[in-house]
Amino acid sequence: MAKQISDLKLGILGGGQLGRMLIQEGINYNLTTLVLDPDTDAPCKHLANYFECGSITDFDTVYNFGKKADIITIEIEKVNIEALEQLEKEGKQVFPQSRVIRLIQDKGIQKQFFKENNIPTAPFQLVNTRDDIRSSSFAFPYILKQRKDGYDGKGVMKISSAADIEQSFDAPCLIEEMIDFEKEVAVIVCRNPNGDMKTFPMVEMEFNPEANLVEFLISPSTYPESLQNKAEVIAKNIASSLNITGLLAVEMFVTRDGELLVNELAPRPHNSGHQTIEGNYVSQFNQHLRAIFNLPLGDTRSISNAVMINLLGEKNHNGVAKYQGLEKIMAIDGVYVHLYGKKYTKPFRKMGHITVVDQNRDSAIQKANYVKNTLKVIS
């Protein structure tokens, strides 16, 4: 019999919550996992069969780590691409493929890819220095994004005046028209090496403006079916243009006039798919494993309305994490707790998430509000 999932070793670059939930799902398939992360206390540490503390951006470290695995995947884009390319040349399977990660790592190349493939996206301009920004003809206000290493709201700022430019990044950036959007939505698509594709139903996101992080996620969306179908087609077009193997999260804006504009891609499990663990027949983590091990993709349909709340560290709390109100929220039916195994909390750190599942959408939202107001991560 050919080698199967239970015989193969999966190497994961990054040992945070996404890797942790992937491993949690992989237990069902006897998956052997190797994890590389620079943090000695990474959330995956005790769950991986082999944990290595080391840099995921260093060529030698990633290359030598990758040699130990059969299939390599990522839970964060900021990894050493050259090492992954070398591993691919030597016959290792890297999913998503190194060229996909390279493209997505650079928001400039990502935008050019959208343009070349007729993917709707906000107008943009690439700039290399602060001088280029000064001489841009884009009207204020606009969004300035660093091409590389932005994450969770870092590396993004709003430029409202010439004065703002002087405080901005002096690095290769992307100037983007500021979209007056009604809502941010996301579709997660998954593609296996056979080219089979499945999308999870479109979800709606609500942001915490202070932390610039998703605070609330509602699944499925209540936008008209026509818009949802359009979003799914866009996601599938991107996945097939990229020829990606694995998950691809596609974040989009719904503009005030009902158009969809692609904002950003993530070629991995994504925050906008956490509610699939309880809310859908298969989770994004299960689906990613199916794709990268070339197994049939699972049923992405929603079981129920689901609202996901990111559990962020409280302001002014730094230290060993305590979960205030945990007992109270666990008393409510349909409330599912996911803590990420992080010993220390700090303001706005992602410490876990809660999914509320309820057949009634309003009731799910109401419970989610209660959870948000009741559960606090303090020190």
Q: Where does this chain bind its own copies (CB under 8 A)?
A: 1, 4-6, 20, 24, 27-30, 46-47, 49, 281, 290, 295-296, 298-299, 303, 321-324, 326-327, 330-331, 333-334, 336-341, 357
Q: Which is nearer to its own copies, 224 or 296 (CB)?
A: 296
- Residues paired with residue 159 on neighbouring β-strands, in sequence order: 142
CB of 57 to its own copies, least distance (A): 27
CB of 272 to its own copies, least distance (A): 19
Q: Which is nearer to its own copies, 151 or 281 (CB)?
A: 281
Q: Which is nearer to its own copies, 17 or 80 (CB)?
A: 17
Residues in the chain: 379
Q: Which is nearer to its own copies, 339 or 365 (CB)?
A: 339
Q: Which is nearer to its own copies, 81 or 312 (CB)?
A: 312
CB of 28 to its own copies, least distance (A): 5
Find the radius of gyration of the CA atoms of the chain: 20
CB of 339 to its own copies, least distance (A): 4
Q: Which is nearer to its own copies, 124 or 340 (CB)?
A: 340
CB of 50 to its own copies, least distance (A): 9
Q: What is the 3-state secondary structure (H, E, C) of the chain?
A: CCCCHHHCEEEEECCCHHHHHHHHHHHHHCCEEEEEECCCCCCCCCCCCEEEECCCCCHHHHHHHHHCCCEEEECCCCCCHHHHHHHHHCCCEECCCHHHHHHHHCHHHHHHHHHHCCCCECCEEEECCHHHHHCCCCCCCEEEEECCCCECCECEEEECCHHHHHCCCCCCEEEEECCCEEEEEEEEEEECCCCCEEECCCEEEEEECCCCEEEEEEECCCCCHHHHHHHHHHHHHHHHHHCCCEEEEEEEEEECCCCEEEEEEECCCCHHHCCHHHHECCCHHHHHHHHHCCCCCCCCCECCEEEEEEEEECCCCCEECEEECHHHHHCCCCEEEEECCCCEECCCCEEEEEEEEECCHHHHHHHHHHHHHHCEEEC
How many CB atoms are closer than 10 A to CB 7? 11
Q: Which is nearer to its own copies, 66 or 352 (CB)?
A: 352
CB of 65 to its own copies, least distance (A): 18
Across the beta sheet with 156-159, the strand order is: 124-127, 173-177, 142-146, 156-159
Longest dimension (CA), the chain: 66
Q: Which is nearer to its own copies, 162 or 303 (CB)?
A: 303
CB of 259 to its own copies, least distance (A): 33
Q: Which is nearer to its own copies, 227 or 339 (CB)?
A: 339
CB of 182 to its own copies, least distance (A): 33
